[in-house]
Structure 1
Amino acid sequence: MDKLVELLTVGTKWFSDKADAADLAILDKRINERAAEGWELVTYDYMATSMQIKGAFVITFRKEK
């Protein structure tokens, strides 16, 4: 089984109610692109930076060989 871990940088404060719909659209697009390549989504999580201004999604996929 192959594993793919990606870091998708976003520019909003996800711990507040100011989430940007464009960032969600980018995440959705990335998941759909990988699915079209045969990758299965395992998990994703938001990771804040130390400044709490920007953050990133850590996305993990897997693919059967």
Structure 2
Amino acid sequence: MYEYKTEVLYTKTKWTTDKAEESDILELNDLFNERSQEGWELVTYSYMSTSLQFKGATLITFKREK
């Protein structure tokens, strides 16, 4: 049996191209590494753009055994 954890990671710029702020990538890596240390495994992620022209977010789901 697993338990799941979903988080939203907001980005500083909207990723409409292959360009992303390096700080956003570092923050994403930090989140993955922190959750990995806690025993969480990445299950899925989905980029969610907003109606604003300069922001977006990534919905990230992790799992681990209970």
TM-score, length-scaled by structure 2: 0.89
- Number of matched residues? 65
Structure 1 unaligned regions, length at least 5: none
- Equivalent position of 1:2 in the other structure: 3
Output the aligned Cα RMSD: 1.1
- Equivalent position of 1:13 in the other structure: 14
Structure 2 unaligned regions, length at least 5: none
Moved over 4 A (4+): none
- Equivalent position of 1:28 in the other structure: 29
- Does 2:52 correspond to 1:46? no
Which whole-Å deviations, capped at 9, do the CAs of 1:9-61 have from their partners, x for residues lacking one? Answer: 11112012441011011001001100000001111121111123101111100
